[in-house]
Chains A and B, each alone.
Chain A
Amino acid sequence: MITVQDIQNQTIAELFEQYPFLPGFFEENTLQVNGQIDEKLIDYLKFLDDEEEVENRAIDKDQLLLSMTTYISQMLEFLGEDEEDGVHSITILPGTNKSGEAEQFGELKISKSEIVCIVGPTGSGKSRLLGDIEWVAQNDTPTSRTILVNEEMGDKKWRVSSGHKLVAQLSQNMNFVMDLTVYEFLELHAQSRLVEDVEGVIAKIIEEANKLAGEKFELTTPITSLSGGQSRALMIADTAILSKSPIILIDEIENAGIDRKKALDLLIGEEKIVLMATHDPMLALMGDKRIVIKNGGIHKVIVTSDEERKLLVDLERMDAVVQNMRTRLRNGEIIKKEDIGF
């Protein structure tokens, strides 16, 4: 554990050298270094001994030093984690539904690269289930469920820290709100995740995103002018590759301008645990299992049978027909009865 004493007598240059993520902290806390890079931290911060300066900048020296120390410790811990520490599985232990009746399943283990669909009417308790997973419930939420991580009692660090979010979410109504190009956007995200090979990661994301998107886009395209399909493709590729969260929750993927099968393949290829709320038969049958939610509880867990999987082939054929028509429409062609094909 690093203490205030450890850092305050080092020069800023030494600190930046040792902790390459520290300039970001200075930047975000509006501390400009300029020519004072070789001063000791404690000397650099002397301007905060002036009461008027403290009032004007609204920065408290002790609090700042403490924050800096906490930040360095957090980042070192974050960087020190390797794959071995990662999440391999989560296990849901049953609780009760809204009427207090016990949920009817033994336990549900979901491993990396598995896809589990969540079905049930609006308001049936899908978000509560997700909430339980995100909060690593320990029999302390309204459903009394318990969530195990790697088959052990979950660490509470998942609950409130910014770098350790268990669940990343992709949903229908999400938009890009920043005014940046695709490149700038990915660079910003990569930097916030302390990625070393930023260029490599960006190249990989744009390549994968373009495999998913119906229409290709460039690194120089502003993110706000991407089409719906392109936006979703970029969000999925970015989340698959850059997000550290081991679980991805998808709230329907609209069937337009994006190859959904490839999107799921990408996510499971990146060893994510995929939870998907969907009522689209094609997506639901791509899942390994599906959780049926009723009255606030897990009503049952259905394993996708071989028979259902065979139907997937027909569904994919039907989907291909529609996709083909879409392409033909886009190209200004006329759609004929033969296009339907059955």
Chain B
Amino acid sequence: MNLVTVSGPPSSGKTAVILKTIDSLQKRGLEVGVVKFDCLYTDDDILYEKAGVKVKKGLSGSLCPDHYFVSNIEEVTQWGIKEGLDLLITESAGLCNRCSPYVKSITAVCVIDNLSGINTPKKIGPMLKSADIVVITKGDIVSQAEREVFASRVNQVNPGASIMHINGLTGQGAYELSTLLYDEKVEIKTLVGEKLRFSMPSALCSYCLGETRIGESYQMGNVRKIDMSDKKDEK
């Protein structure tokens, strides 16, 4: 089985891109499954089911979605193998810009959209910087110049990535993406022992454990304060 992780800011078009790409993969006779990770709610699983795709969803609820993802990825992989999939795609929303969901040996795709603004590539961490493929969506509604500037900014933070432009509505570009996602020579049996490309955002403080009261005396563990003094930031 092949495994691909797809990530990207909320509403960037991940599901639309994956659905259009799966369409091309199914035409090649490949069995594709999806596991959708989200935080509080998703009904994207219904969209996948409609497309004839085996699907599972996981909601992280009160946990950091990244931590939830990595705690479940092996079980998810085993599910895909059991279902006899050729390709398993995991989809997860990068809910904070420090998000870091990629595994070293697994193809990583980041979906980001032209409408998010040209300063966005700078603000996103490992989710964009360490992806193998960056898919840029919503190019049909902005000018050619803005597309070019946006793509060049993405290239500046991740020069090694393949940059693809995909229209999630018409599917233009999705066939091309599909050719980069499946390699019949690859056979993944387990992720045990594999490593993340970058450490995940960390936190363990009283608020992680359900504290709701405000004030220093309620704060314990990994707590950090803004520097409110007048001196200028050094870095």
User: Does B44 lie at the interface of the complex (its beta carbon under 8 Å from any beta carbon of A)?
Assistant: no
A175 CB contact (under 8 Å) in B143, B152, B175: B143
Contact size range, B:
35 or more
B8 within 8 A of A: no
Return B232 CB to nearest CB of chain A, in Å: 10
Is the CB of A70 closer than 8 A to any CB of chain B? yes
- Bound CA span A63–B146, Å: 28
CB within 8 Å of A: which B111-156 residues: 114-115, 117-118, 121-122, 125-126, 129-130, 133, 139-146, 148-149, 151-156
Are A131 and B148 in contact, with the CB atoms below 8 A?
no
A12: min CB distance to chain B, Å: 14
Within the assembled complex, what's the spacing in Å between the Cα atoms of A192 and B143? 15
Residue of B whose beta carbon sits closest to that of A248: B144
A174 interfacial by beta-carbon distance below 8 Å: yes
Query: Chain A: which residue is nearest B136 at the CB level?
Result: A162
User: Does B219 belong to the interface (CB within 8 Å)?
Assistant: no
What residue in chain B is nearest A243 (Cβ atoms)? Answer: B144
Does the CB pair B155–A163 fall under 8 Å? yes
Please tell me which stretch of B71-79, B159-167, B181-189 contacts chain A, meaning at least 4 of its Cβ atoms lie within 8 angstroms of it.
B159-167
Known contacts A131-B175, A173-B140: does B129 contact A162 (CB below 8 Å)? no
A195 to B75, CA, bound (A): 51
Instruction: State how many angstroms separate the Cβ of B115 from the closest Cβ of chain A.
Output: 6
Q: Are A29 and B142 in contact (CB under 8 A)?
A: no
- Residues B140 and A162 in contact, CB atoms below 8 Å apart: no
* A192 touching B148 in the complex, CB below 8 Å, given contacts A127-B172, A131-B173: yes
**With A130-B172, A131-B173, A192-B152: A176-B146 Cβ-Cβ less than 8 Å:** yes
Between B24, B148, B153, the greatest number of chain A beta carbons within 10 A of the residue's beta carbon is seen for B148
Q: A55-B199, A171-B140 are in contact. Are A160 and B162 (CB under 8 A)?
A: yes
Residues of chain A with a CB closer than 8 A to B172's CB: 127, 130-131
Indicate the member of B100, B152, B162 with the most A CB atoms within 10 Å.
B152
- Tally of chain A residues near chain B (CB < 8 A): 54
Contact with B153, one of A28, A67, A159, A170 (Cβ below 8 angstroms): A28
Interfacial chain A residues near B125, Cβ < 8 Å: 58
Which residues of chain A have C-beta atoms less than 8 A from B198's C-beta? 58, 60
| 0/1 string, A184-213, CB within 8 A of B gives 1 | 011011001100000000000000000000
Query: Is B170 within 8 A of A162, CB to CB?
Result: no
Q: Which residues of B contact A171 (CB under 8 A)?
A: 140
A26→B25 CA distance, assembly (Å): 39
Tell whether A169 is near chain B: CB-to-CB under 8 Å: yes
Given A131-B176, A175-B143: A189 and B156 interface contact (C-beta under 8 Å): no
B12 at the interface (CB under 8 A from A): no
If the complex has contacts A32-B235, A58-B98, are A175 and B142 also in contact, measured as CB distance less than 8 A?
yes
Q: Is the CB of A189 within 8 A of B148?
A: yes
Chain A 138-154, CB-CB to B under 8 Å as 1, else 0, gives: 00111000000000000
A76 CB contacts on chain B under 8 angstroms = none
Residue in B24, B115, B148, B170 whose CB lies within 8 Å of A177:
B115
Contact pattern, A 97-123, Cβ under 8 Å of B = 1, otherwise 0: 000000000000000000000000000
Q: Is B62 an interface residue (CB 8 A)?
A: no
Residues of B within 8 A of A127 (CB): 170, 172
* Residue of B126, B142, B145, B149 most packed against chain A (CB within 10 A): B145
Across the interface, which residues of A come within 8 angstroms of B133, CB to CB?
Answer: 160
Chain A's closest residue to B125 (CB) is A58
> A25 and B143: CB pair below 8 A?
no
Pull 15 A–B residue pairs with CB atoms less than 8 Å apart, ordered by A.
Answer: A27-B122, A28-B157, A58-B125, A58-B198, A63-B129, A67-B158, A67-B159, A127-B172, A131-B175, A142-B27, A160-B164, A173-B140, A186-B145, A188-B118, A239-B144
The 5 closest A-B pairs by CB, nearest first: A160-B162, A58-B125, A28-B156, A71-B159, A162-B155
